[in-house]
Structure 1
Amino acid sequence: MDIARGSINRPLYTWLIMLAALLGGIWGFLNLGRLEDPAFTIKSAVIATQYPGASSAQVALEVSEPLESAIQKMGEVKLITSVNRPGSSLIEVEMQDTYDGTELPAIWTKLRAEVRDAARALPDGVSEPYVNDGFGDVFGLFYAVTAEGYSDAEKHELATYLRRELLTVDGVADVEITGLPPEAVFVEPKMAVAVNQNIPIDAVSSALANANSVRPAGSLEAGPADTRLSAPEGSDSVTAIAGLSIGSQGDVVNVIDMADVHRGRISDPDLLIRFNGVEAFTLGIAGLATENIVEVGQNVDAKLAALDSRIPYGVDLKPIYQQHVVVEQASNDFLVNLAMSVTIVVVVLALFMGWRAAVVVGSTLLLTVVGTLFFMNMFSISMERISLGALIIAMGMLVDNAIVVAEGMQISMLRGKTSRAAAHEAASKTQIPLLGATVIGIMAFAGIGLSPDSSGEFLFSLFAVIAISLLLSWLLALTATPLLGHYFFKQGNEDSKDAYSGLMFRTYGKILAWALKLRWLVVAGLAGITVICFIGFGQVKQQFFPDSNTPLFFVHYKLPQGTSIQTTSRHLKVFEDWLAEREDVVSVASFTGQGATRFMLTYSAEKPNPSYGHLIIRTATLDAIPPLQAALEAFGQAQFPEGEFRTKRLVFGPGGGDPIQVRFSGPDPKVLRRLGAEAEQRLAAASANILTPRHNWREQEPVLKPVYANDRAQTAGVTRENIADALQFSTDGLQMGVFRERDRLIPIIVRRAPQEPYNIYDQVVFSSSAGKFVPLEQMIDGVDVVMENTLVHRRDRLPTLTVGADIPPDLTAATVFAEVQDTIEAMEIPPGYLMEWGGEHESSGDANESLGKQLPVTLLIMVLISVLLFNAIRQPVIIWLLVPMSVNGVVIGLLGTGFPFTFTALLGLLSLSGMLIKNGIVLVEEIDLVRETGLPLRQAIVEASVSRLRPVMLAAVTTILGMAPLLTDAFFVSMAITIMGGLAFATVLTLVAAPVFYLIFFRRAEKLEMAAV
């Protein structure tokens, strides 16, 4: 099929293709979905269960174990982990990576059924397990709301109003409010009155429980219709609750006569939030997965601006994170990089091939990119970090096809051929090799994009965009390039000067002739350099994902286990005040008791713990983060040496956990603690780069356990439950009913007045048999103090203790892991116990394993295509011998600049391999064609290589310079260096090593030629 000649003979068709690519690309760009990260399903659900009064060991044994056993029966489950605390179980279930988002709803339904069935056998007093499958929802528009001077009730009303209004915004899926101060109606009996009149606390509780309950009252048949009867409404105010009557031994008293009743804030909430030192609550807004997050964000901004006049004075709404701003900036940066890359291509081509070729190739490149945007929109591929990266990665390969065709056509026309004949000659001999090389380049990424696990789902857009853009570049190189060349290239005559007689070509020809003569020395030199570089690759820093270019970083602060949330909050306030005085700090959001709402796909919040504090700090610039981290850590260690203080940079991709982790699993918590302590010591001793080793079971806590005096208590009619209720009443209080206020259910708590002095032995408990209060001291035989594990972590139903450590910011986890691996693996692990590595070693290993499963298949396809292209073995072997050597330039580039080999660098290496193979295929194919004209082997090799010099050099130079704008991008800098350094060396491989290998493999042909002479 003569596509190139046809594109000139039928220009209308070609112009229509070009116009469709241009206009379709503009339409696609304007309508493309925009996200920060690819739409990705977090395949995890959380099951929360309450067991009030139970120890963490009881929770693990009586709640988590039966639930985990039931869940484990599901074949879809990949991993089950749980955190067991006194009174609560939190189980996280992760499903197999092979299930995509469309299959998860059915899996969650099955999970709920398993949990529901298992819950029937749970002990009395255990709440119904709550299954949360929205665990991975991302609320990318994240705001802090401050309302100084307003009451807690007014803050709740404000939050309800904001949520209701924002849910009406187009594209908004959900709005999550966190950090509102929890309220309660407190009933604080005057114990002197209660004891004097023998009014048991149960009587108060019963009156309160019935005061505000909702009960059915039936219906009344009235003629042809039934009329519903409504029960009398409950108490609608705190005053009404205070006026409730309590019957006691024939007398009736009002609650107000024997108790203080008031509405107030619960002193120990689950979460405390401040923004810039002011108490706040947060507003998380999630967009619909099908919507453009930039448009959703703009709609939200417009709505908030409209609400500004209706929001009370003194209420401020400040952004903590705005995903739409980040995404819009990324899109704008892409356009700038695209414009710079196309400009660089045009300028370089103009310098080396003239302005006509520059216009032809530059136009083809631009059409390819915008045409790709059209197909991205057609296939619902959003513009996000990975798809933008794919376009940038593909840029180097896109220009290749057009350069090869334009170069061949221009040279033929300079030699006197017509544009149609030149187009036919240039395209006919390269269209199949270019197609094969293009498919091979696509297949280099197929192992990543088509992987059936989570990495494949996350990176599918990478494969799809590269496939679309490369195939489109091949099509346009055979259609648009010949037509544009027909209009722009000038025709010479047969007597025109040889196009390859210039100094550059003559110099290269001499160097190549010398290399062919000293071929074994060249091979030995290349082999030596390759071996050295492979050894040197071990010195290259390894990092899974690079740091983000968003000027945010986190603080994780932990006080000893058991510290109250108020104490933790006071410590955080000291850090906030210190940061407020810094000019390089823009804002500080603090979260005490747990982490923030998931505002990024890669953000993972710390689970609830009163001793945990979290800061999200935004700086003026990225450069301000490292010195601020160091200063803040020094301040924290000096101010609160008892606390565990860590700062973390925001990273692209999964992260946030400890870079170094080792896990120990087994039945006995004492053995696990011993192994954990030994591991901490070994880590610290093995490397000075191990910072703050620690384990996730934290410190044991003292627990007071009254000893039940069985004989005396039973005689008095006092049960263990009575004693537990008496202790609960005298400390946190007993919840007895709820107070309804519109859509809110406010708990009613009966408790001892906080101002009264407290001593456990001074408490009283009501004796049902005696009908009066008796001293608690007589019902117990003292109080024991025991140390308990209040955090029990489990992994796949086994108690598991994880030791973690930080590393210096200038080192990678792989470097430090190599320093400590041997000493940990030398530990003596008792029978029945297991040691496993976690952290970045595990996560990067899982990713590499996933990639490794797919690479053999894609590699086989790539090799098969190269064999089919040549219908021979030796030519593909020559090309594939070059691939391992491509790492040479990568190692030199990364070691020379000091940047780590990241996941994006791996993608760059795959791209580099594709470019090298493509150039190799075109060069070897050209040598074969020249040999068919009857030239001697060496002369054919030199002439063919000289004819390919300019396309190879131009493709390399344009790609290398086109990557220059990415050197300032934190996410793509390692990839850019990989491609720039690797391609520079790969060009030498293509132009020198490939011809040398060709001569060696076809040496027998040269001998036959010499014999014939």
Structure 2
Amino acid sequence: MSIASVAINNRVVTLVLTVVMLIAGLYIFNGMSRLEDPEFTIKDALIITPYNGASALEVEQEVTELLEKTVQQLGELDKVTSKSERGLSTITVTIKEQYNKETLPQVWNKLRQKIDDVKYYLPPGAGPSLVIDDYGDVYSIFMVVSGDGYSFKELKTYVNDLQQQLLLVNGVGKITTFGEKSEAIYIEFNRSRMAQLGISPEIVAAQLNGKGLVVDAGRAHVGSSSIAVSTTGGFTKVSDFEKLLITHDTKQFYLSDIAKVSRGYVSPSTQLINFDGKAGIGLGISTVSGGNTVDMGEAVLAKLSELESQRPAGIEFGYVSLQSEGVKEAISGFTSSLAEAVIIVIVVLLFFMGLRSGLLIGFVLILTIAGSFIFLAPMGVALERISLGALIIALGMLVDNAIVVVDGILIRMQKGESAESAAPRVVNQSAWPLLGATLIAILAFAAIGTSNDATGEYCRSLFQVVMVSLLLSWVTAVTITPLLCVMYLKAPKSTDKTSPYQGTFYTKYRGLLASSIRHRYLSSASIIGIFALSLWGFSFVQQNFFPSSTRAQFMVDFWLPQGTHIEETQKHAESVENYLGNLANVEHVTTTIGEGALRFLLTYQPQQSNSSYAQFLVDVDDYTVIKTLIPKIEVELLQKYPDALVYASPFELGTGTAGKIQARISGPDTDVLRETSDKVLEVFSKESNTKGVRTDWRNKQLYIEAVLAEEQANINGINRGMVAEAIKESFEGVTTGVYRENDLLLPIIIRANENERSDITNIENVQIWSPNAQKMIPLRQVVQSFETKFEDGLILRRNRERTITIFADPVTGTASELLATLKPQVEAIKIPPGYTLEWGGEYEDSSKAEKGLASSIPIFILSMILITIVIFNSLKQTLVIWLCVPLALIGVTAGMLATNQPFGFMALLGFLSLIGMLIKNAIVLVDEINLEQSQGKSLINSILDSGVSRLRPVAMAALTTALGMIPLIFDAFFVSMAVTIISGLMFATALTMIVLPIVYALIFKAENP
């Protein structure tokens, strides 16, 4: 008994299961997790190691090198990059692609253990090393709390209270602040007065520590009890510091006699944030792992509304990113596109198949989509751009199987057979070829589903959705579809039971097909010529990786010369902020100074800490204005700030890196690296179509070197460290303890008073304590000279090699076009022996993604060929089918050139899926030829009759797929894929219905018609 017979004979069970599947699918759909874009795991961790006082070179040689060597012992390591700067080592550890979010925590534990093991080998004064493994966390809500007339202390108090309340909200994972200003107790000495009194800062620091320390006074054994003992006398308020009695020799005086005590903010700040020109504190809120971003966002907004009455007057919230709203809008848009595509497909079916047949197939389509959610949800597939787009892509294929079954039943009914008899026979005839064709269509997407890289992870739901929905479409085609045909299809009223293919359209097609086969060699030569022309034309198609986002927000990166003080950067940033805020179509401007913002989007890559850097996140009322705003902003800001680097860019979709064009120069000597990179920089800068040309080493920085007079220093008992401490204490300040205030620990910083620390020219008169002379002496007595020099402020490495990266982006056109112009010029530069040139950026990202596909594509192509062989048990018929596959390129080339769309990664996926669609159609046609021959017809008549009989289902399958893709043409992410499939499928299907019979006639040597 056939599958269809079982379904028909047990119609109550079949119908009940159908209703259950429909209702369950719709119910599960409503509860599925929702995201704007699919998640992919950022496999990076940071190792931050301070080494105060060390130059970038010393940090590199003494800290970074040691830690990198340790990191390279990780078997899971993909690459290690590092940045060494004065006083700080930052190492980025990237893990191999095959490790996912489930296995990464174990890797990070191993990394921590290795870093912990090596801490004893760090130089004195270096460390401790901090491993940050949540670097890739995404804060789906990023807001700024500000308030006119409120101090940072008051803002911080409110934010801390708010943080405690929001942490209790269901779905909230972690809350992180950004741009907080920490407080400190400042003790500003009058060094001249201290010199007169003969007191050193160390004496004062020791007495401050003695009074501020928490010391264990032990326990007393009293009777049967053990009673703790504590002491008082610590600092309880700031004024207590002024009353601290300093004793030195026989002298006593209050701290207020020699120093000014104040409470203030730690200066300089390392990160600042403004929203629409108002300074504030950023608040990033992430969703718990596996949580629903929309539900969490709505819950947080509801909590904020509930707490509204407790918000002080004047406190404002500015939303930099509110993913829940963006996700709702995006999902609504995707769902609308899906609904539009379904309607388009059903309308096409109604038009070509008739009312009953069209409604029947339309119902099966909706059932298949709903049923797919039942299986997708347990697989962890969320509703997002890729998964919903995949459903739209699959729509046409989802009705293919049902169309073949319904069309076959209709044809038999037109010949006088009953639906009850026709349904099982049609399913028996076509079920297994259709299953094979379905598996082939699925395998066309399998390469992306099995790719381990970030791009594969990003697009994985595409394969999962196609696999589940297509398999389910086959199941519904051989079960519920024949049952519904039996229940609702009516026999045609016409009594002509000879042939249903007597219409003008079929007659003309048969004539064209017969003529083409008669002139098979000329026809074949023509097709080969057209194919060769398409190959040539494809060289003119633009190339890219992923398109820009349609997010109504863009970034402006603003770099002042390396070494610029953050307060100077802040002053310029506030001016730029004011300029941006006054531009037409700009709604809000968020400014981060000192580093990039929290990662509020998965594809956003925050800039690491740098005092000369500011970034502006600009919200506009319509994303279409971004294209005109970006060049305007870049030109006008560069005119106003000629020493700055200004680079504006939209957000990108998919994976990728900053700087679409990247040239990496690696080698041992910093001077040779800079000299070589300058040549590359010159090539990049001379090209008129480049912008944002820069290097990651940036300019050399000015520094002052105090040359110690060794003999005089020894006489006074002074060493290098003491000189460094005195200079730092005078100009920046030295932390000497902590002040406890409830749960706060405020650093106690001693430094020179403002007059003394604000004048660098007075450095030689800085007072330093001489242990041997027991008095303060000026630095000039122990320092031979103060020399002004330049140094590499940043030293970057890649896989333990010093590496300078030169960045650029195209002003117009694609990165691939710009790279084609720049690459030969750069590669013409003579690279010194021992140095290497590599290309990164979009070129590298695209190559890695394509390599990830290329490694598995041959396996799946071979599997598709084997399935074809199994279906027909014939090598010749398999060859006929696969010779038609290249024809897809003809339509793809024409479509890409006509629409001026680039052939990117998504277009490549579209092309792979196109192969599956074409083979599926070809299988239907070849299977029909076999059926016709089995009924005793001649080969040529079998070919002609099969072409005519399969014309409607094949054309319908192609038409529904192509028209169903129309909503994706308006989606920036899918447009290139949509154009690839629509143009490729329509051209290739039309050609297949002619070319496949020609090739079949050639290979099997059919007689002329």
TM-score strictly above 0.5:
yes
Report the alpha carbon displacement of residue 396 of structure 1 after superposing the two structures with TM: 2.1
1:952-998 CA-to-partner distances (Å, cap 9, x unmatched) read: 11122222221112222111111111111111112113211111111
Mapped to 2, the partners of 1:914 and 1:223 lie a distance apart of: 88
> Is contact 1:5-1:421 (8 Å) kept?
no
Moved more, 50-59 or 494-503: 494-503
Report the alpha carbon displacement of residue 120 of structure 1 after superposing the two structures with TM: 0.7
The AA in structure 2 aligned to 1:645 is V
**Alignment identity in percent?**
39
The AA in structure 2 aligned to 1:792 is I
> Is contact 1:703-1:785 (8 Å) kept?
yes
Mapped to 2, the partners of 1:842 and 1:138 lie a distance apart of: 25
**Structure 1 counterpart of 2:918:** 916
Mapped to 2, the partners of 1:796 and 1:967 lie a distance apart of: 42
**Structure 2 counterpart of 1:441:** 441
**Structure 1 counterpart of 2:291:** 291
Mapped to 1, the partners of 2:809 and 2:889 lie a distance apart of: 30
Moved more, 555-564 or 411-420: 411-420
1:263-310 CA-to-partner distances (Å, cap 9, x unmatched) read: 112332111111111112211111012211111111111111111111
Whether 1:63 aligns to 2:63 is yes
Report the alpha carbon displacement of residue 404 of structure 1 after superposing the two structures with TM: 1.0
Mapped to 2, the partners of 1:495 and 1:86 lie a distance apart of: 92
**Structure 2 counterpart of 1:83:** 83
Mapped to 2, the partners of 1:220 and 1:394 lie a distance apart of: 79
Report the alpha carbon displacement of residue 656 of structure 1 after superposing the two structures with TM: 4.8
> Is contact 1:32-1:376 (8 Å) kept?
no
Whether 1:953 aligns to 2:968 is no
Whether 1:606 aligns to 2:611 is no
Whether 1:717 aligns to 2:747 is no
**Structure 2 counterpart of 1:798:** 801
The AA in structure 2 aligned to 1:583 is A
Report the alpha carbon displacement of residue 166 of structure 1 after superposing the two structures with TM: 1.0
Structure-2 change in CA distance of 1:258 and 1:42 (3 Å)? same
**Structure 2 counterpart of 1:675:** 676
Q: What TM-score does the superposition give when structure 2 sets the normalisation length?
A: 0.98
Q: What TM-score does the superposition give when structure 1 sets the normalisation length?
A: 0.97
Mapped to 2, the partners of 1:535 and 1:11 lie a distance apart of: 56
The AA in structure 2 aligned to 1:287 is T
> Is contact 1:761-1:777 (8 Å) kept?
yes
Mapped to 2, the partners of 1:883 and 1:227 lie a distance apart of: 88
Moved more, 363-372 or 498-507: 498-507
**Structure 2 counterpart of 1:597:** 598
Report the alpha carbon displacement of residue 334 of structure 1 after superposing the two structures with TM: 2.4
Name the SS of the counterpart of 2:309 in structure 1: coil
> Is contact 1:244-1:255 (8 Å) kept?
yes
**Structure 2 counterpart of 1:394:** 394
> Is contact 1:5-1:420 (8 Å) kept?
no
Name the SS of the counterpart of 1:800 in structure 2: strand
Report the alpha carbon displacement of residue 41 of structure 1 after superposing the two structures with TM: 2.1
Report the alpha carbon displacement of residue 231 of structure 1 after superposing the two structures with TM: 4.1
Moved more, 785-794 or 828-837: 828-837
**Structure 2 counterpart of 1:896:** 898
The AA in structure 1 aligned to 2:690 is I
Moved more, 854-863 or 419-428: 419-428
Q: Where do residues 752-831 of structure 1 align in structure 2 (5 Å cutoff)? A: 752-756=752-756, 758=759, 759-808=762-811, 810-831=812-833
Mapped to 2, the partners of 1:234 and 1:852 lie a distance apart of: 69
1:746-779 CA-to-partner distances (Å, cap 9, x unmatched) read: 2211111123462112211111111111111111
The AA in structure 1 aligned to 2:205 is S
> Is contact 2:345-2:396 (8 Å) kept?
no
Name the SS of the counterpart of 1:458 in structure 2: helix
**Structure 1 counterpart of 2:514:** 513
Structure-2 change in CA distance of 1:19 and 1:256 (3 Å)? same
Moved more, 341-350 or 87-96: 341-350
Q: Unpaired runs of 5+ in structure 2?
A: none
> Is contact 1:184-1:747 (8 Å) kept?
yes
Match of 1:943 among 933, 945, 955: 945
1:918-952 CA-to-partner distances (Å, cap 9, x unmatched) read: 00011111111111212122211111111111111
Name the SS of the counterpart of 1:234 in structure 2: coil
Report the alpha carbon displacement of residue 878 of structure 1 after superposing the two structures with TM: 1.1
Name the SS of the counterpart of 1:740 in structure 2: strand
Report the alpha carbon displacement of residue 223 of structure 1 after superposing the two structures with TM: 4.1
Report the alpha carbon displacement of residue 153 of structure 1 after superposing the two structures with TM: 1.5
Mapped to 2, the partners of 1:213 and 1:928 lie a distance apart of: 93
Name the SS of the counterpart of 2:884 in structure 1: helix
The AA in structure 2 aligned to 1:344 is I
Name the SS of the counterpart of 1:879 in structure 2: helix
Q: Where do residues 296-445 of structure 1 align in structure 2 (5 Å cutoff)? A: 296-445=296-445
Report the alpha carbon displacement of residue 260 of structure 1 after superposing the two structures with TM: 0.6
Report the alpha carbon displacement of residue 122 of structure 1 after superposing the two structures with TM: 0.8
Report the alpha carbon displacement of residue 579 of structure 1 after superposing the two structures with TM: 2.0
Name the SS of the counterpart of 2:118 in structure 1: helix
Mapped to 2, the partners of 1:797 and 1:368 lie a distance apart of: 53
Mapped to 1, the partners of 2:178 and 2:888 lie a distance apart of: 52
Report the alpha carbon displacement of residue 684 of structure 1 after superposing the two structures with TM: 3.7
1:679-729 CA-to-partner distances (Å, cap 9, x unmatched) read: 1123344x4323343211111111111110111111112222221111011
Moved more, 169-178 or 745-754: 745-754
> Is contact 1:936-1:1006 (8 Å) kept?
no
**Structure 2 counterpart of 1:148:** 148
Name the SS of the counterpart of 1:630 in structure 2: helix
Name the SS of the counterpart of 2:409 in structure 1: helix
1:757-806 CA-to-partner distances (Å, cap 9, x unmatched) read: 62112211111111111111111111111110000001111111111112
Name the SS of the counterpart of 1:786 in structure 2: strand
> Is contact 1:28-1:376 (8 Å) kept?
no
Mapped to 2, the partners of 1:951 and 1:304 lie a distance apart of: 56
The AA in structure 1 aligned to 2:752 is R
Whether 1:579 aligns to 2:606 is no
> Is contact 1:171-1:291 (8 Å) kept?
yes
Name the SS of the counterpart of 1:553 in structure 2: strand
**Structure 2 counterpart of 1:547:** 548
The AA in structure 2 aligned to 1:891 is T
> Is contact 2:349-2:357 (8 Å) kept?
yes
> Is contact 1:703-1:787 (8 Å) kept?
yes
> Is contact 1:39-1:289 (8 Å) kept?
no
Structure-2 change in CA distance of 1:243 and 1:817 (3 Å)? same
Whether 1:739 aligns to 2:739 is yes
Name the SS of the counterpart of 2:722 in structure 1: helix
Match of 1:926 among 925, 928, 936: 928
Q: Unpaired runs of 5+ in structure 1?
A: none
**Structure 2 counterpart of 1:658:** 659
The AA in structure 2 aligned to 1:977 is V
Report the alpha carbon displacement of residue 887 of structure 1 after superposing the two structures with TM: 1.6
**Structure 1 counterpart of 2:971:** 969
**Structure 1 counterpart of 2:907:** 905
> Is contact 2:179-2:273 (8 Å) kept?
yes
Mapped to 2, the partners of 1:463 and 1:348 lie a distance apart of: 26
Mapped to 2, the partners of 1:209 and 1:422 lie a distance apart of: 96
Name the SS of the counterpart of 1:33 in structure 2: coil
Report the alpha carbon displacement of residue 534 of structure 1 after superposing the two structures with TM: 1.8
The AA in structure 2 aligned to 1:994 is L
Mapped to 1, the partners of 2:515 and 2:219 lie a distance apart of: 105
The AA in structure 1 aligned to 2:109 is T
Structure-2 change in CA distance of 1:858 and 1:229 (3 Å)? farther
Mapped to 2, the partners of 1:587 and 1:402 lie a distance apart of: 51
Name the SS of the counterpart of 1:629 in structure 2: helix
Report the alpha carbon displacement of residue 655 of structure 1 after superposing the two structures with TM: 3.2
Q: Where do residues 812-851 of structure 1 align in structure 2 (5 Å cutoff)? A: 812-851=814-853
Name the SS of the counterpart of 1:236 in structure 2: coil
Moved more, 89-98 or 576-585: 576-585
Mapped to 2, the partners of 1:925 and 1:689 lie a distance apart of: 54
Report the alpha carbon displacement of residue 230 of structure 1 after superposing the two structures with TM: 3.3
Structure-2 change in CA distance of 1:235 and 1:352 (3 Å)? same
The AA in structure 1 aligned to 2:77 is V
Name the SS of the counterpart of 1:216 in structure 2: coil
The AA in structure 2 aligned to 1:777 is R
Name the SS of the counterpart of 2:602 in structure 1: coil
Moved more, 521-530 or 467-476: 521-530
> Is contact 1:31-1:377 (8 Å) kept?
no
**Structure 1 counterpart of 2:619:** 618
Mapped to 2, the partners of 1:806 and 1:158 lie a distance apart of: 42
Report the alpha carbon displacement of residue 216 of structure 1 after superposing the two structures with TM: 2.5
